[in-house]
Amino acid sequence: MDSVAQSESGLPIQPLYDGSALTDFDADAKLGAPGKFPYTRGVYPSMYTGRPWTMRQYAGFGTAKESNERYHELVGAGTGGLSVAFDLPTQMGYDSDETIARGEVGKVGVAIDSIEDMRTLFQGLPLDKVSTSMTINAPASTLLLLYQLVAAEQGVSGDQLTGTIQNDVLKEYIARGTYIFPPKQSLRLISDIFAYCHQELPRWNTISISGYHMAEAGATPAQEIAFTLANAKEYVRAAIAAGLDVDDFAPRLSFFFVARTTLLEEIAKFRAARRIWARIMRDEFGAKNPKSQMLRFHTQTAGVQLTAQQPEVNLVRVALQGLGAVLGGTQSLHTNSYDEAIALPTQKAARLALRTQQVIAYETDVTKTVDPFAGSYVVESMTDDVEAAALELIRAVEDRGGAVTAIEQGFQKSEIEKSAYKIALEIDNEERTVVGVNKYTLDEEEPYEPLRVDPQIETDQCERLATLRKERDNDAVERALDALRDAARGTDNVLYPMREALRLRATVGEVSHALRDVWGMHVPHDTF
């Protein structure tokens, strides 16, 4: 007898579903109505029948000026939200002229060293109308404040600004590595951001708790949502411990997940994640505001599934992945460009990626009804299976003392590495087909000319920094940085003195170093 197929999470996929697989299925309790607890069917009653999701395109490369030109092109092409990619030195809280930044300036995103770069990045863009997502974590507070300062220069007040900072440092310790401070100090900074935005930027999403990077590192769908929601619980606890009421900050929490080509399990994953989070917030944290119970999320198609071989095939992969995200009920979506496995996407590739979303939204019928897969035997069964597997993993994290302690023990990282190794073996052994890589290959690949970053960017960025330091009031900057250090030593919210330092043209690196002086840096420990 043939063995039963398995999902990405190792759960059984039956060849036929007839309803018998639905264990004690109570449609009212498990599904409810769209926009109602437990939000299995979506967080809003009308979902895309009223308006489509926010179509974001992740962009940013080289200089702020070049990135600004790309943003104007994207807005002109119809994108409703911008997603900013920062270069590695910016992500790590270093300036472009520091030794450690050499060779990395402008490579994987835009270099932002000061308010002057941020001003150039958003010049001529209507910040009261464009929603901006910034993929930044350890120095998220710094980049958010720079954005607010530039918006104020345009006459846009804090209560008009909409967007998201990723600000999810715990997943950096698990899967990505762009951390700066130790976990406890990182949680302190995140709590200060929650409190600051509640007062100053009430429409801003203060954190995008990310499973995407764990999935890219090899996590299964069940691991992705389990470890993400376990991290989210840690952030909620930290904010409550800092004296915030859960309903004051929880409505601005958002999430960030991947969309793979395994369409059915991805739809089930998104549905299960909403259901789990709704119950965590209501039953464990006592959240009374329905918005505190809603898991709202951004999705990006799976970069790790893009191939450098036959890159045009990635157009098909991205279309399927984007469709899965939409059928799963995402609130915003970034579709990868087909050439990203080779280099930074070209202008044509980025436009095609956006057009993919527009075809799904306006040429298919999936936006004509809410939650098209509700009641599907297979999807409802898979939702139950993913939910159960994720809850078991969340309990394993909690049994170790919560996400931070489990991170220190290497639990999540170890589980993800096991999954990644299993996937790699399956590809190598041809048990898992990757079109163009281990099956349906070409003897010779067609030539492709990738977009490359000019090394002159680093020289120019360093010259701009030298000019800035010469022209600004350095004594005033140092006094402002001292005030930031004092706040970091005590219990005052660090964002207020940080904002003043940035207004006086302190750099991203100087602000990060001021906090390093007080809080130190995280040193990872290999425990397995």
Q: What is the dihedral of CA 159, 165, 169, 175, to 10 degrees?
A: 160
Question: Do the bridges between strand 54-59 and strand 81-85 make them parallel or antiparallel, or are there none, so unpaired?
Answer: parallel
Q: What is the pLDDT of residue 108?
A: 83
Is 107:87 a contact under the CB 8 Å cutoff?
Answer: yes
Bridge partners of 134?
84, 165
Instruction: Extract the tokens encoding 346.
Output: 């070209």
Q: What is the pLDDT of residue 58?
A: 66
Is 294:278 a contact under the CB 8 Å cutoff?
Answer: yes
Q: What is the pLDDT of residue 344?
A: 72
Give CA separation, 106 vs 4, 93, 109, 510, 511, in Å. 48, 14, 5, 19, 20
Of the candidates 190, 188, 148, 201, the one whose C-alpha atom is nearest the C-alpha of residue 166 is: 190
Is 460:63 a contact under the CB 8 Å cutoff?
Answer: yes
Instruction: Extract the tokens encoding 258.
Output: 């991947």
Q: What is the pLDDT of residue 1?
A: 41
Provide the residue type at 2 as one letter.
D
Instruction: List phi, psi (to 5°) of 360.
Output: -60, -40
Cβ atoms within 10 Å, residue 15: 7
Does residue 345 have a cis bond before it (omega within 30 degrees)? no
Q: What is the pLDDT of residue 526?
A: 58
Q: What is the pLDDT of residue 489?
A: 97
Ordered by where they begin, the domains of the chain are 41-428 (3.20.20.240)
Q: What is the pLDDT of residue 357?
A: 97
- Give the Cα separation of 92 and 101 in Å (integer): 9
Which residues fall within 8 angstroms of residue 343, CB to CB, at 6 or more apart? Answer: 450, 451, 452
Q: What is the pLDDT of residue 528?
A: 39
Report DSSP letters for 79-133, one per residue: -SEEEEEB-HHHHTT--TTSGGGTTTTTSSSB---SHHHHHHHTTT--TTT-EEE
Is 112:118 a contact under the CB 8 Å cutoff?
Answer: yes
**528 residues of the chain, pLDDT tens digit each:** 457 789 999 999 888 777 777 766 677 677 889 999 999 999 999 999 989 998 977 666 678 998 898 889 888 887 767 889 899 999 999 999 999 999 999 888 899 999 999 999 999 999 998 899 899 999 999 999 999 999 999 999 999 999 999 999 999 999 888 999 998 899 999 999 999 999 999 999 999 999 999 999 999 999 999 999 999 999 999 999 989 999 999 999 999 999 999 999 999 999 999 999 999 999 999 999 999 999 999 999 999 999 999 999 999 999 999 999 999 999 999 999 999 888 778 888 988 999 999 999 999 999 999 999 999 999 999 999 999 999 999 999 999 999 999 998 999 999 999 999 999 999 999 999 999 999 999 988 777 776 666 788 999 999 999 999 999 999 999 999 999 999 999 999 999 999 999 999 999 999 999 999 999 998 876 543
Instruction: Extract the tokens encoding 83.
Output: 């997603």
